[in-house]
Chain A
Amino acid sequence: MYETKVDTTLANDYRAMTHTSTAASLSAPTWNEAGNGTNPTGSLSSHETGERKSANHSTEVLEQFSYDDDIVRWFVAATILWGIVGTSVGVLVAFLLVAPSITDGLRSDVSSVLSFARLRPLHTNAAIFAFAGNAIFAAIYYSTQRLCKARMWSDVLSRLHFWGWQAIIVAAALTLPFGITQSKEYAELEWPIDIAIAVVWLLFFGVNFMMTLIHRRERHMYVALWFYIATIVTVTVLHVFNNLVVPIGLGKSYSIYAGVQDALMQWWYGHNAVAFFLTTPFLGLMYYFMPKAAERPVFSYKLSIIHFWSLVFIYIWAGPHHLHYTALPEWASTFGMLFSVMLWMPSWGGMINGLLTLRGAWHKVTTDPVLKFFVVGITFYGMSTFEGPMLSIKSVNALSHYTDWTIAHVHSGALGWNGFMTFGMIYWLLPRLYQTKLWSTKLAEWHFWIGTIAILLYIIPIYAAGITQGLMWRAQKPNGDLVYAFLETVQEIVPFWWVRVGAGSLYVIGLLMLAFNTIMTWSTRPSKYEVPVYSAPRLTKGYVEPVASASKLDGTPVLDLATKVDRVAQMNWHRAWEHMPVKFTVMTTLAVVVASLFEIVPMFLIRSNIPTINTVKPYTPLEIAGRDIYVSEGCYNCHSQMIRPMVAERLLYGEYSKPGESVYDHPFQWGSRRIGPDLARIGITQQSGFWHWRHFENPSVISPGSVMPSYRHLLEERLNFNEIQPRVQAAKFLHPEYPYDVTKSADLARLQAEKVAAQIVLQGGPVEYNGHMIKDSTAIALIAYLQRVGTDLTRTEEPAKPKEADATVADPTADSTADSTAGAQ
C-alpha cells in the first residue's frame, strides 16, 4: 500500500512539474493527504506566481524558456560512477593498510603504485572532487534553473564544465598513483591540473552560474542560491591561494610558502574545502530538495539568513584547529579553536532548518526512501558539526589529533552527510530526469539500510581505534615512563581496521544498488524526453524593495532606537540584497576574504611568529632530491613531522618541533595522521643508513608487525642526478641565501651519495643492488634526507661552513663519515 502511495506522489510531482495548468489541482490532494490543509498558498506553483505577477505588470512581455536537464542527467551519472570508484579505492587502501605485504610478490613498479600512501590521496580526491563534486553540480544545475526560472546561461559552458571536470578527475587518477603530487592534503594535484581546475571552476562553471543569476526571471534569490554563491566564490579564493607554486616541470612544483606559513595556508584551505565544497553546496542542495521531497515549507527564513552569514564568516577562521600544539603560534591556534566553537550554532542552524522543515511530514519518512536518506544525512551533519567544535577544543584535540578519531569524524560527515544527501537527491531526481517511475523503491530502501549499517560499522570501530590509540600513546607508568612502544599501539587497532574493510565494502554495495536502480530506471525512459516550455516575464529594471512593514512597536511608548532595531530584525534589508546577485556576491566575498586576512596577514608579517634558529640551514642538493621522493611517495600520509609539546611525545620522539625548523620546507610535511611514528627527529634517532636501507627493503623484518609496505622500488630505481639541478634552482629562487653552487648540484649530490652509500657498506650493506652501485639508488637520496631531518636544532654551528660550501658538501655528513670509518677500523 505504501508503495502505491509513493508512486502516485512521484507521478503527481512529475506532472505538477511539466503541466503548469494542472499543477494546483493535482498537488492539492497530495497536500491534504499529508494531513495539512492549513496552508492557503500550499498548492501554488511558482509558475502560477510568475503568471500572477505578469498580470500586475501588463506591459511586461512573457518570455518562453525550457530547462537543460541533459546536463543534470550527465552529472548524476558521473556522480554514481565516481562514487563507486572513490569508495572502492577507499576499500582498497583500507585493505592495503591491514595487509601491507600483499603486494610483495608483484613487480616493484606495480607494487609501488599499489601502496596506501600513493592511493590514499586518490581516494580522498575522488570522494571529494569526483563524487561530491559531480553531486553538487547536478544539484546546482537542476535547482538553479528552476529557482531562477531560467535555462543555464550557456549550454556550451555547461558542457565544457562537465567534460572539463571529468578530464580533471581522469588526470588526477593518472598522476596521483604515480607519485605526481604537491602533498598538500586535498590539494595534491600538480599545478597544470590546478590551472585546469581554476579555469573549469571559475570561467566555465562560475561564469555560467553568475550569468544565469543575472538573467533570472525570479526576483529574489532563494537561500539555496546564496549557498551556491558562497561555494563558488570561496572555493576559487582557497584554491588559487593555496596552490601558488614555483614549477620546475610539468609534474613537479614547490609551494611558495614554507613551514608554518605553508601549514597555515594549507589548513585554511583544507578546512574550508570541507566548509565550502562539502558543506555549503550541500546545504544549498538540502534547502532545495528537502522541502521539495517533503512538500513542506522551510522552517524559518530568518534562521536561513542568520545561519548563512554566520557560517560563511566564521567558518573561514577555523582552519588553525588542524594545527593545535604544532609549531603554529599559539594565538592562531586559539583563534582556530574559538571560531570553531562559535561555528557550532551556525552549523546547527542548517540542521534545524532541515529537520524542522519535516514538521508535519514525519509520517512520510516511513514510506519514502528519499526522505529517509535526507533525515539520516542531516542527522550526521548535526553530529559532525557538534563533533567538529568539540575536536577543536585544544585539550580534546590533544587526544584526538594524529589518531583515527579524525578519520571516523570525517567519514561520518562524508558517508553520512555528503553521501546520503547525494543519494536522497538522486532517488528524487531519477523519476523526474528519466520521466518514468523509479524502477524499485524497495531497492532504494535496501540501499538506505545497508548504507546506514555500513556507516555505523565504519565509524564505531574507527572511533574506538582512535581513542584507544590516543590513550595508549599517552599512557604512563606510575614512574612516569611510557607504557607502550609505538608499534604496540598500531597492532592494538589493526582488528578495527579489518572491520572497516567490511564496512566500506557494504557502502560500495549500496552504491552498486543505486547504480543498478538508475540503469533500470533509465531503461524504462520514454523514447524522447518531454521538454516542457515555461513562460515568465523578464525582470524589470529599477525594482525597489517595498519598505519594511510597520513595526509592531510603532506608536508604542518606546525609544526610536527600539523601533529601528525591530525593523532591522525583520530582515527587510536582507530581502533587498536577495534581488541583487552582484551585491550579494561581493558581500559574501568580503565576509570570506576579510576573515581570512585577519589570520593570514599577521602570520606573514610578524617575524616573532617564526623565531629564527641560526643552526637551521637549507638542504643539500641530494637532500632536496630525497625530500622530493618523500613527498612523492606520500610518506606524510602515515608519518607526521611535528612533535607536539607534550610529555608523552617528548619521551617517545624527542624535543618538540620549533617553528624555525621548517623554514626551508616547501611544502611543509607536518602530516595529519600517525599510522607510523613521527619522523621529526628521525635524523637524530636513526642515523644508520643501513637500517633505513634494510627497512625500505622489508620493514617487517626490522620491525616485526609493522604495517609499512616494502619500498623495494626505491632501492632498485636509479636516481637521475641530472634532474636535481632544477630542484636546487627552485630552492635558490625561494631562498637567495642558498649556500650551494646551483650549477654543481649534480656533482655535489653524487659526492654526498657516495658518502651515504659508503656508510651503508661499512655497516654491512651491499655494494651493488639490482645491477647498479647502491650510491646510484633513489633510496640513497631519501636516506640522506632522513638523516638530516630534525638534526639542525641541536647541531653545533660550524663557523667555516660558508667558505667550504662551494667546494664540498658541507654538512654534518662530512664529520660523520670520518667517524664511521674510524668506527669500522
Chain B
Amino acid sequence: MNTTNKSVTENVTLGHSYDGIREYDNPLPGWWKWLFVLTVVVSPFYLLYFHVGGPNRSVHEQFAAALDANQKKKYADIGDLTPDAVTLVKYMKDPEWNEVGKSIYKMNCVSCHGAEGGGVIGPNLCDENYKHIKKVEDIVKVINEGVAGGAMPAWATRIPNKNDIVMVSAYVASLRGTSPANPKGPDGSPIAAWSAGDTPATGDAPATGDAPATGTDPAASDAPAASDAPAASDAPTRTP
C-alpha cells in the first residue's frame, strides 16, 4: 500500500462527522462493483441449467450414473457371479480376487470379526467351528440375510453389488485355517472342509460326474442362466 497514493489527495470528504469520524465520497471500486454484478448475473443461469435444463443434471441422477459406473468397473470382465460352492471355492483360491474380498471385509466386517478374522463380538472365522454354516455357500446366505436376530446384520440391503457379497464370502472362506493374533475361542461346532461339491479341486472322488460343467469358466456358464442359480447351489448338498 502506498501512503502517498495520488487519489488520497483527490478524495473529497463528505460533510459527515461522527464523534470525529469522517467519510470520503469515494466511488465503488470498479472491480468490486463488476464482480458483484457478475455473481448476481451468473446465478440465474446456474439455476436454470441445473433445475430446468434437462435430464441427468440433478444430484441424484448424477449419483445414480456414478454408482452404476463404479459398480461396473470391478466386475466388467466376469459379469454377474452365482453364489454357489464352485464359484466361492474358485475365488477363494484366487489371490487377486481375494484382495477384493479382503477390502470389502475391511470396510464392513472388521468391527465384529477383527482385522484378521480372529473374532471380537462376532465369532472367530479362522478356526474349524461354525455356528450357522455347514457348507461354503452358507456364508453367502448368512451375509445376505443375517443371523442371530440381526447380531449378524443382513448385508444384502447394505452392499449394493451382489458380486461383492460373493467376493467377501470367498475371502471369509479363505480365512479358515489361518492363525490370527488374539483369536477368540471356538464357537459352534466343527464342520467338514470346504467343498466345491463336484470340483476336482477339493479332491472329493465321488463328485467327478459334474466336473466338465464346473470346469468351464463359471462366469461364462452361469451368467446367462440366472434361473440355474438355486439348482446349482442345491447340487452339492445332495451329493454327499
Contacts and interface: CB of A to CB of B under 8 A. Distances in A.
A266 B92 CA distance: 50
Interface in A210-253: 218, 220, 222
B16 A301 contact: yes
A103 interface: no
A302 B151 contact: no
Contacts of A703: 111
Interface in B16-31: 16-29
B67 A479 contact: no
Interface string B1-25: 1111100110101111111111111
B158 A41 contact: no
Contact of A647 (B50, B63, B132): B63
A816 B60 CA distance: 33
A433 to B, nearest CB: 16
A334 interface: yes
B13 A325 contact: no
Interface string A348-372: 1100100010111111000000000
Nearest to A760: B151
B149 A816 contact: yes
A348 to B, nearest CB: 7
A801 interface: no
A687 B20 contact: no
A360 B108 contact: no
Contact of A759 (B16, B51, B149, B152): B149
B15 to A, nearest CB: 8
Contact of B158 (A42, A346, A681, A821): A681
Given A480-B74, A690-B121, A35 B60 contact: no
B150 A787 contact: yes
Given A297-B21, A480-B71, A820 B148 contact: yes
A819 B66 contact: no
Contact of B20 (A292, A358, A820): A292
A187 B28 CA distance: 37
Contacts of A687: 146, 149-153
Contacts of A794: 157
Contacts of B120: 702
Given A481-B100, A702-B121, A652 B107 contact: yes
B74 A301 contact: no
B151 A820 contact: yes
A643 to B, nearest CB: 11
A763 B148 contact: yes
A301 B32 contact: no
Nearest to B120: A702
Interface in A249-308: 287-288, 291-292, 297-304, 306
Given A147-B19, A338-B46, A362 B32 contact: no
Interface string A800-825: 00000000000000001111110110
Prevailing SS type, chain A contact patch: helix
Interface stretch (B34-42, B190-198, B223-231): B34-42
A329 B3 CA distance: 51
Q: How large is the interface on B (under 10, 10 to 19, 20 to 34, 35 or more residues)?
A: 35 or more
A816 B154 CA distance: 12
B150 A702 contact: no
A147 B157 contact: no
Contacts of B26: 299-303, 356
A576 B58 CA distance: 47
Nearest to A765: B121
A306 B177 CA distance: 74
A485 B107 contact: yes
Contacts of A652: 107
Contact of A220 (B16, B22, B24): B16
Nearest to B150: A687
B111 A702 contact: yes
A482 B43 CA distance: 35
B104 interface: yes
Contact of A46 (B19, B27, B36): B19
A292 B21 contact: yes
A819 B150 CA distance: 8
Nearest to A645: B63
A75 interface: no
B239 interface: no
Nearest to A145: B19
A654 interface: yes
Contacts of A352: 29, 32
B70 interface: yes
B73 interface: yes
A718 to B, nearest CB: 24
A334 B15 CA distance: 44
A146 interface: yes
Contacts of A361: 3
B148 A823 contact: yes
Contacts of A302: 25-28
B97 to A, nearest CB: 10
Contacts of B74: 479-481
A46 B153 contact: no
Nearest to A682: B153
Contact of B8 (A298, A360, A656): A360
Nearest to B65: A647
Given A759-B151, A823-B132, A41 B13 contact: yes
A651 interface: yes
Given A360-B8, A688-B112, A301 B24 contact: yes
A480 B70 contact: yes
Contacts of A346: 36
28 contacts: A146-B18, A149-B19, A291-B21, A292-B20, A300-B25, A300-B27, A300-B28, A301-B16, A302-B26, A306-B28, A331-B51, A334-B47, A342-B39, A345-B32, A346-B36, A359-B3, A362-B1, A363-B3, A477-B103, A650-B67, A684-B154, A687-B150, A687-B151, A690-B121, A691-B111, A702-B120, A819-B147, A820-B150
Q: Which 4 A-B pairs have the closest CB atoms?
A: A820-B149, A687-B150, A345-B36, A645-B63
